[in-house]
Structure 1
Amino acid sequence: MKYIQAKFILCAMLAVSPMFVSAQAIDWNETDSLVSEKDPMVQVAFRKVAQKDLLGGVSVVNVEELTKKNYNTYSLDNMQGYVGGWNGNSLWGMDGDNAGYLVLVDGVPRDANNVMPSEIAQISFLKGAQAVVLYGSKAAKGAVVITTKRGNVEGLNVSVRANTGFHVAKAFPEYLGSAEYMTLYNEALLNDDPSANLRYTAEQIYNHGSGVNPYRYPNMNYYSSDYVKKAYNRSEVTAEITGGGKRARFYSNVSYYSNGDFLDFGEAKNNRTDRFNVRGNVDVNINSFINAYINANATFYDSKSAKGDYWNVASTARPNFPENAAPLIPLDMIDPNATDAWELLGTTSNIIGGKYFLSGTRANATNAFADSYAAGSSKWTSRQFQFDAGVDVNLNKVLKGLSFNAMFAVDYATSYSTSFDNKYAVFVPTWSNYGGKDVIVALSKEGNDERPGTQNVGGSTDKQTIAFTGQFNYQNTFNKNHNVSAMLIANGYQQTVSAQYHRISNANLALQAGYNYQQRYYADFSAALIHSAKLAKGHRQALSPSVTLGWRLSNENFLKDSPVVDDLLLSVSGSILNQDIDLVMGDNEFYLYESVWTQNDGYAWYDGPAGKYTISTRGQNSDLSFIKRKEFSANLKTSLWNRLITADASFFINSMEGYLINQPTFYPSHLNTGYPAASFMAVLNYNNNKRVGFDFNINANKRFGDVDLSLGVAGTYYDTKITKRDEIYDDTYRYREGRSVDGVWGLQSAGLFQSKEEIESSPEQKLGSTVQPGDIKYVDQNGDNVIDDKDEVFLGKGGWYGAPFTFGINFTAKWKSLTFFVLGTGNFGAYGLKNSSYYWVDGDDKYSAIVRNRWTPETAATATYPRLSARSSSNNFRASDYWLYKTDRFDLAKVQITYDLPKRILRNTFINELSAYVSGANLLTISKERKHMEMNVGSAPQSRFYNIGVKAVF
Structure 2
Amino acid sequence: MKHIQKRFILFALLFVTPFFINAQITAENETDTIITSNDPLVQVSYRKVAQSDILGGVSVVNLEELTKKNYNTYSLDNMQGYIGGFTGNSLWGMGEYLVLVDGIPRAANNVLPTEIEQISFLKSASAVVLYGSRAAKGVIYISTKRGKIKPLEINVRANTGYHVSKSHPKYLGSAQYMTLFNEARQNDGLSASYSDEDIYNYASGSNPYRYPNVDFYSSDYLKSYYNRTDVSTEILGGNERARFYTNIGYYRQGDVLDFGKAADNYTDRLNIRGNIDLELNDFISARIDANATFYNSRSANATDRDANDGVTDNYWTYASIMRPNRVSPLIPLAYIDPNDQQSLGLVNGSSNIIGGQYFLGGTQVDQTNVFADYYAAGTSKWTSRQFQFDTGLDFDLSGVTEGLAFHTLFAVDYATSYNTSYNNSYAVYQPSWYNYNGADVIAGLTKYNNDEKSGSQNIGGSTSNQTIAFSGYFTYDKTFKDDHNVSAILLANGYQQTISGEYHRTSNANIGLQVGYNYKQKYYAELAAAVIHSAKLAPGHRNAMSPSVSLGWKIGEEDFMANSSVFDDLTLNLSASILNSDLDIENFYMYEENYTQASGAWWGWYDGAVERSTNSLRGGNEDLTFVKRKEFSATLMASMWEKLITVNTSFFINSTEGLLIEPLTIFPNYFFTYWPDASFIPYVNYNNDKRVGFDFNVNFNKRVGEVDLSLGLSGIYYTTEATQRDENNEYDYQYREGKSIDGIWGLESAGLFQSQDEVDNSPEQKFGGTVKPGDIKYVDQNGDDVIDDKDVIYLERAGWSGAPLTLGVNFTAKWKGLTFFALGTGNYGAYAMKNDTYHWVYGDRKYSEVVLDRWTEATKATATYPRLTTESGSNNFRNSDFWMYKTDRFNLAKVQITYDLPQSLIQNSLFENMSIYVSGANLLTISKESDLLELEFDSAPQTRFFNIGLKATF
Q: TM-score range by the shorter chain?
A: over 0.9
Deviation at 1:566, TM superposition (A): 1.0
> Partners in 1 of 2:579 and 2:283 — Cα distance?
36
Task: Please list, as runs of the form range in 1=range in 2, the aligned pairs for 1:461-610 lying within 5 A after superposition.
Answer: 461-584=463-586, 589-603=587-601, 604=603, 610=610
Deviation at 1:327, TM superposition (A): 1.3
| Residue identity matched to 2:922 | N
2:122 aligned to which of 100, 120, 126: 126
Q: What residue in structure 2 maps to residue 253 of structure 1?
A: 247
Task: Please list, as runs of the form range in 1=range in 2, the aligned pairs for 1:223-372 lying within 5 A after superposition.
Answer: 223-308=217-302, 309-322=314-327, 326-372=328-374
> Partners in 1 of 2:676 and 2:777 — Cα distance?
39
Deviation at 1:157, TM superposition (A): 0.2
- The SS at the match of 1:613 is strand
> Partners in 2 of 1:310 and 1:515 — Cα distance?
61
Deviation at 1:25, TM superposition (A): 3.5
Per-residue CA distance 1:71-121 (angstroms, 9 max, x = gap): 0100000000000000101000001xxxx1000000000000000000000
1:207 aligned to which of 180, 201, 210: 201
Deviation at 1:31, TM superposition (A): 2.4
CA contact (8 A) 1:34 1:65 kept: no
> Partners in 2 of 1:598 and 1:311 — Cα distance?
41
> Partners in 1 of 2:534 and 2:438 — Cα distance?
79
- 5+ residue gaps, structure 2, are 1-17, 303-313
| Residue identity matched to 2:321 | T
CA contact (8 A) 1:722 1:737 kept: yes
Deviation at 1:925, TM superposition (A): 0.5
Deviation at 1:562, TM superposition (A): 1.6
> Partners in 2 of 1:616 and 1:849 — Cα distance?
50
CA contact (8 A) 1:36 1:62 kept: no
Q: What residue in structure 2 maps to residue 724 of structure 1?
A: 724
Q: What residue in structure 1 maps to residue 135 of structure 2?
A: 139
Q: What residue in structure 1 maps to residue 7 of structure 2?
A: none
> Partners in 2 of 1:838 and 1:610 — Cα distance?
49
Deviation at 1:36, TM superposition (A): 7.1
CA contact (8 A) 1:595 1:619 kept: yes
Task: Please list, as runs of the form range in 1=range in 2, the aligned pairs for 1:302-451 lying within 5 A after superposition.
Answer: 302-308=296-302, 309-322=314-327, 326-451=328-453
Deviation at 1:183, TM superposition (A): 0.6
Per-residue CA distance 1:466-485 (angstroms, 9 max, x = gap): 00010000000000000000
Deviation at 1:560, TM superposition (A): 2.1
- The SS at the match of 1:160 is strand
- The SS at the match of 1:315 is helix
> Partners in 2 of 1:520 and 1:842 — Cα distance?
67
Task: Please list, as runs of the form range in 1=range in 2, the aligned pairs for 1:105-120 lying within 5 A after superposition.
Answer: 105-120=101-116
CA contact (8 A) 1:268 1:306 kept: yes
| Residue identity matched to 1:307 | N
Deviation at 1:720, TM superposition (A): 0.2
> Partners in 2 of 1:371 and 1:680 — Cα distance?
50
Deviation at 1:37, TM superposition (A): 4.4
> Partners in 2 of 1:33 and 1:719 — Cα distance?
29
CA contact (8 A) 1:378 1:420 kept: yes
- The SS at the match of 2:388 is strand
| Residue identity matched to 2:168 | F
> Partners in 1 of 2:75 and 2:584 — Cα distance?
26
> Partners in 2 of 1:677 and 1:819 — Cα distance?
66
Deviation at 1:865, TM superposition (A): 0.6
> Partners in 2 of 1:671 and 1:837 — Cα distance?
39
1:178 aligned to which of 168, 174, 181: 174
CA contact (8 A) 1:23 1:244 kept: no
- The SS at the match of 1:156 is strand
Per-residue CA distance 1:498-528 (angstroms, 9 max, x = gap): 1111111000000010000001100001110
Per-residue CA distance 1:693-738 (angstroms, 9 max, x = gap): 0000000111112110000000101100000000111010000000
Deviation at 1:613, TM superposition (A): 1.8
> Partners in 1 of 2:75 and 2:753 — Cα distance?
51
> Partners in 1 of 2:396 and 2:118 — Cα distance?
25
Identity %: 62
Task: Please list, as runs of the form range in 1=range in 2, the aligned pairs for 1:731-742 lying within 5 A after superposition.
Answer: 731-742=731-742
Deviation at 1:602, TM superposition (A): 2.5
Deviation at 1:346, TM superposition (A): 2.6
Task: Please list, as runs of the form range in 1=range in 2, the aligned pairs for 1:610-625 lying within 5 A after superposition.
Answer: 610-625=610-625
Q: What residue in structure 2 maps to residue 887 of structure 1?
A: 887
Per-residue CA distance 1:610-631 (angstroms, 9 max, x = gap): 5112222211111000000000
> Partners in 2 of 1:673 and 1:50 — Cα distance?
60
| Residue identity matched to 2:323 | R
CA contact (8 A) 2:844 2:870 kept: yes
Aligned residues: 921
Per-residue CA distance 1:800-824 (angstroms, 9 max, x = gap): 1000000100000000000000000
Deviation at 1:198, TM superposition (A): 1.0
The 1:577–1:23 alpha-carbon spacing in structure 2 relative to 1, beyond 3 Å, is farther
- The SS at the match of 2:150 is coil
CA contact (8 A) 2:32 2:62 kept: no
Deviation at 1:33, TM superposition (A): 4.0
| Residue identity matched to 1:166 | Y
| Residue identity matched to 1:910 | L
CA contact (8 A) 1:722 1:741 kept: yes
| Residue identity matched to 1:386 | Q
- The SS at the match of 2:728 is coil
Task: Please list, as runs of the form range in 1=range in 2, the aligned pairs for 1:49-60 lying within 5 A after superposition.
Answer: 49-60=49-60
Q: What residue in structure 2 maps to residue 6 of structure 1?
A: none
Deviation at 1:598, TM superposition (A): 1.8
Per-residue CA distance 1:554-600 (angstroms, 9 max, x = gap): 1111102322211111011000000001112xxxx111111112222
> Partners in 1 of 2:232 and 2:33 — Cα distance?
24
| Residue identity matched to 2:105 | P
> Partners in 2 of 1:44 and 1:760 — Cα distance?
67
Say which is worse superposed, 306-315 or 29-38, in terms of deviation.
29-38
Deviation at 1:353, TM superposition (A): 0.7
Q: What residue in structure 2 maps to residue 938 of structure 1?
A: 938
> Partners in 2 of 1:39 and 1:631 — Cα distance?
28
Deviation at 1:769, TM superposition (A): 2.1
Q: What residue in structure 2 maps to residue 809 of structure 1?
A: 809
Deviation at 1:236, TM superposition (A): 0.5
Deviation at 1:34, TM superposition (A): 1.7
> Partners in 1 of 2:160 and 2:675 — Cα distance?
63
> Partners in 1 of 2:936 and 2:910 — Cα distance?
48
Is 1:783 the counterpart of 2:783? The answer is yes
CA contact (8 A) 1:153 1:242 kept: no
- The SS at the match of 1:536 is coil
> Partners in 2 of 1:670 and 1:197 — Cα distance?
50
2:100 aligned to which of 100, 104, 109: 104
> Partners in 2 of 1:29 and 1:610 — Cα distance?
83
- The SS at the match of 2:127 is helix
CA contact (8 A) 2:261 2:375 kept: yes
| Residue identity matched to 1:409 | A
- The SS at the match of 1:918 is strand
Q: What residue in structure 2 maps to residue 29 of structure 1?
A: 29
2:457 aligned to which of 452, 455, 458: 455
CA contact (8 A) 2:33 2:63 kept: no
> Partners in 1 of 2:351 and 2:55 — Cα distance?
71
> Partners in 2 of 1:390 and 1:896 — Cα distance?
39
Deviation at 1:29, TM superposition (A): 2.6
- 5+ residue gaps, structure 1, are 1-17
Q: What residue in structure 1 maps to residue 694 of structure 2?
A: 694
> Partners in 1 of 2:616 and 2:300 — Cα distance?
49
| Residue identity matched to 1:280 | G
Q: What residue in structure 2 maps to residue 655 of structure 1?
A: 655
2:211 aligned to which of 203, 210, 217: 217
| Residue identity matched to 1:590 | F
Q: What residue in structure 1 maps to residue 669 of structure 2?
A: 669
> Partners in 1 of 2:677 and 2:169 — Cα distance?
45
